[in-house]
Structure 1
């Protein structure tokens, strides 16, 4: 399952409540593992995050956090705190379920906003990890279901190589958040998660595809999208397979993967666009793109390629972009040229077009 939604939030909250009720009779005034907060304060933090994320979505906050927070009543004990975690977790689940596709709200990292799936994933990460912080100091196990950890890693930590042989997704999640060790990997002193990017491009938007959604596309699924013409074109599935293989090999870098082109007026996916991987040693990255037949001839690909190229060329590691097109694909050649790419020496048998940083 690749979707981060209300059901996954409730699964994570149910797991957390079960773990925490097992230690509700202990002393929650002690510091939680690895934190300056007490166990009770850590539970309050989970509650505050759930409410904040729900309010970001329901308010459609564009450039700041909604200016209020949630705290436990004075005198609340562990049982009351667990009740509040459950209640506010369900609140976030409801907000996620009722947020229309395409809606994004402010969150600072890395793109300044997140969609409903992103806020769901962040809420799941908060409750799983902080339940662990409480449980480890109180002497109980807090390991969640493996599939939930796998899906969370693929959505929010796509830059982290998957679990090595002999390890588990939970151990990888703990390592990725500075809470554990893995064989062959240095312990992390600092870490961040990655919310997907969304780039406006006139009548369409480029929306970053997670490794989990890419795997579904590669296997013949929809990637969680509703497609014009009912399904993506062949090139989009090939690109999704490239992302899937790169993620499995531990070399995927989220920004340099795949984006779906989604028409903003009806939320129908009309194509795919992205990179064949991160920039090479000379700072060059190769781009690729396609549209479903029903979306061609409307300028979608040209506007999307202009937007993606302008964004990519702000990245310090990139100096140029390359598009390699088959000789008989005149439509794709026209897209590259309309987006400002200049014909280069052929990459036999294909034509090559490049765009350089000004």
Structure 2
């Protein structure tokens, strides 16, 4: 956050003598002055959401500049509101989520950080374009934004150009122009004892790296090997452009102590017949307490509630008795088997 704001303030601070009011900000309907104020408004709004732990809506306040404030004053306000958001991100516990509408009505501190950085990078670009100033955002910051809140966007050859294209501000060879867009915060699903946290490509990349905890505190110290393998496969789907944010891996987090117990998720999007395959893996210390069964019921119920989904399928080795018992307790039925594995299925029981 500090880096993005620092680059914005450095660039805009050198051009405060220009006509911000009379210059349109890139492709926006706003002037450069209005866009600068908008940056500050978003930064303080995000800080307010996190600080207030707002669960259901926006904090009801609005920022405005004092009458007579100049362009240099607007830059000062951007610097200050950026510092406030950075402080809110640093001091907000990992598990806290606050209201944001897109698309699942909440975001965690990483989500708000990515949204704040996106606002700064993109609107600095708009203002720079309007004033005729060269600007290129740091590629690391662009990767940070893309991997956290644009999980549906396939990476391109250069992250800055990809971010501009994904937000309707530029072209990317081989891809159609973008005319409508939204970023995408991760989905979370609550059960009695757990929170199932949707894994972003950023977290998947970290989890797939041996020795990295992926921002979670794991029961027993580290994720199971199956979780790392699954995270690697998910990140490959993201790189290939076939990843869909909801049909992803979820980390199972115990709410009483914020310990990560394992992972569960879908191998891919539902097929043409409305079938989607699910898999799961728990750390050894979490087994035998019903956590997998609880999470499997919740995630399968969520999947079956989505349009066009008619069955959740799981394939398990014949000799994996504990996993087979989990499926049975969760409400799955064995529907096929061969010499190596048994196929279980939970179907849509709504009579459609």
Alignment TM class, shorter chain as reference: over 0.9
> Any residues of structure 2 matched to 1:1-358 within 5 Å, and which?
9-29=1-21, 30-163=23-156, 167-220=157-210, 221-346=212-337, 348-358=339-349
1:341, CA displacement in angstroms? 1.1
Give the unaligned 5+ runs of structure 1: 1-8
Measured after TM superposition, the shift of residue 257 of structure 1 is 1.3
TM-score (norm 2): 0.96
For structure 2, the 5+ residue unaligned runs are none
SS in 2 for 1:106: coil
Determine the C-alpha separation between the residues in 2 that align with 1:64 and 1:247. Answer: 31
The aligned length equals 347
Secondary structure of the residue aligned to 2:336 is coil
| TM-score, scaled to structure 1 | 0.95
Q: Is the 8 A contact 2:317 2:340 kept in 1?
A: yes
How far 1:300 moved relative to its partner? 0.8
Give deviations 1:36-56, integer Å, cap 9, x for gaps: 111111111111111111111
Q: What is the CA RMSD across the aligned residues, in angstroms?
A: 1.1
| Cα shift at 1:303 | 0.8
Cα distance between partner residues in 2 of 1:288 and 1:63: 32
Tell me whether 311-320 or 104-113 shows the greater mean CA deviation. 311-320
* Structure 1 residues 213-245: Cα deviation after superposition (integer angstroms, max 9, x where no partner): 111111211111111101111111111011111
Spell out structure 1 runs of 4+ moving beyond 3 A: none
Specify which structure has the bigger relative contact order, considering alpha-carbon pairs within 8 angstroms and separated by 6 or more residues: 1
Contact 2:114 2:144 in 1 (8 A): no
Post-superposition offset of 1:347: 5.3
Deviation digits for residues 90-134 of structure 1, max 9, x if unmatched? Answer: 100101111112111111111111111111111111111011110
